[in-house]
Structure 1
Amino acid sequence: MLTTVERLRGIMPEMSELDDLLMLQIAAASAAIENYCKRSFRKQSYSERISGHVTSKYINLRNYPVHTIVEIPSVWDYEILDEGRLYRPHGWPTGDHNISISYIGGYVLPKDATEENPRTLPEALELACLLYSQVLLRSPGVKSERVGDISVGYTDDSSSLPPAVISLISPYVGRWI
């Protein structure tokens, strides 16, 4: 999860007795943000199969930042660049899904942070999660209401994120898409 119940409770004190509900909203907001960005943000082990091209000197990994490469069979002369890019001066072996890469990537999330391993998740991602969690708590899909003859309309646009959230997370959307 991209934020903590304590942080959300701090900006929504009226919800302080509903930790289970807050956790569900944070989980939903975190999942929506990761789905939109088409990547995971948690620091952990990842494996990807990528198509190589001898004319391309770069490969982009989904779950940057890349901390260490665990294994790339038959390839050794590469360099890890910022934002999860791998560089190889002579290009990559050509083929469809022929390069298997195992690596440690991602950010230390707020709930996983320790004194020895501090949080590295960009503030913009946590703020986006907090903002979207608040939106989910305050307007759970209701688009319109009517009191006379009781009518409630729900949004048909449940897959879109609020513009402010998109603005905060757009720098973290995968560039391979």
Structure 2
Amino acid sequence: MLAENALTTLERMKLMLGLSDIEDEKVNLIVELLINKASSWIERQTGRHLGKRSYRQWYDADGQQELVTVEYPIISVEYVKEEGRLVNPNRYDYSQTGDVGVIYRDEGWMKAGYRKGLAYDIVAPKRVIEVSYTAGYVLPKDATDDEPQTLPADLEGLVWDMVSQAYTNLQNGSQGLSSFSISDVTWNFDKTQKSEWMQLVNLYRRY
């Protein structure tokens, strides 16, 4: 069974492997496991969840104009609260910066924190800004006519490349895939592939 974070479908992956006409439960299971493993590797490298989902999270009140969410791209913001008080949605915007996970506010977000010393300065911000929002891409397995895929094609293509390599390695080394352990599968990059794949992943990382 494909995992929730699978970045391609079984049908598309079998098409790329030239297995569309093969209906074999063992082959299907192997391909699904490889898809799941490749998808998890990509998510770990990007440092975020890629599939669309909703979140309720708390952020530091550091007084900056840019409130940077953990997950992105931002699809919608249900509400933002500062110390439990709703912020008027007309006072912030993410239409230009939502793709990188930024909710912008001209006058800046509130500043609140722990004070210390003779000047009673804030030495550490409090996490009192609450954001309820939806972020991420519509994955191929979740796409519909009304809500088409938004996962970038190059990320899905990276899964195809990784699974194709791993499947070929298994086929060549396990007597026609008659017996193997998915935990034994590793992504044995040659230097060119690793460089190209990591360059692609780096496009979707936040620095």
Separation in structure 1 between the aligned mates of residue 185 and residue 144 of structure 2, nearest angstrom:
40
Contact residue 63 and residue 105 of structure 1 kept, 8 A: yes
Paired with 1:28 and 1:34, the residues of 2 have a C-alpha distance of 10
Residue 49, structure 1, aligned to residue 49, structure 2? no
Aligned partner of residue 72 in structure 1, secondary structure: strand
Mark the runs of 5 or more structure 1 residues left unpaired by the alignment: 141-153
5+ long unaligned stretches in structure 2: 1-5, 112-124, 171-183
Runs of 4+ off more than 6 Å:
154-158
Cα deviation, 1:38-68, whole Å, max 9, x if unaligned, reads 10111110222221211x2112223222111
Q: Does the C-alpha gap of structure 1 residues 44 and 133 become closer, same or farther in structure 2, counting only changes over 3 Å?
A: same
Alignment of 1:174 with 2:206, yes or no, is: yes
Query: Any idea what SS the aligned residue of 1:99 has?
Result: strand
The percent identity for this pair of structures is: 28
Which residue of 59, 65, 79 maps to 2:73?
65
Report the Cα offset of residue 156 of structure 1: 9.5
The offset of 1:168, in angstroms, is: 1.9
Kept in 2, the 8 Å contact 1:124–1:169? The answer is no
Q: Residues 9-33 of structure 1: CA distance to partner in whole angstroms, max 9, x if unpaired?
A: 1121259441111011101111110
For 2:107, what is the secondary structure of its paired residue?
coil
TM-score of the pair, normalised by structure 2: 0.69
- Equivalent AA in structure 2 for residue 78 of structure 1: Y
Is 1:35 aligned to residue 44 of structure 2? yes
SS of residue paired to 1:127: helix
Shift in Å, 1:172: 1.0
2:98 corresponds, among 65, 77, 82, to 82
- Partners of 2:155 and 2:187 in 1: how far apart? 22
Residue type at the aligned position of 1:3: T
RMSD between aligned alpha carbons?
Answer: 2.4
Superposed counterparts of 1:90-105, under 5 Å? 90-94=107-111, 95-105=125-135
Instruction: Verify: 1:2 aligned to 2:7, yes or no.
Output: yes
Q: Which residue of 1 aligns with 2:150?
A: 120
TM-score by length of 1: 0.79
Q: Tell me which residue corresponds to 1:148.
A: none
Cα distance in 2 for partners of 1:43, 1:24 equals: 21
3-state secondary structure, aligned to 2:8: coil
Q: Distance in 2 between matches of 1:156 and 1:6?
A: 23
* Count of aligned pairs: 159
Computing the radius of gyration from Cα coordinates, the structure with the larger value is 2
Q: Give the secondary-structure state (helix, strand or coil) at the position aligned to 2:203.
A: helix
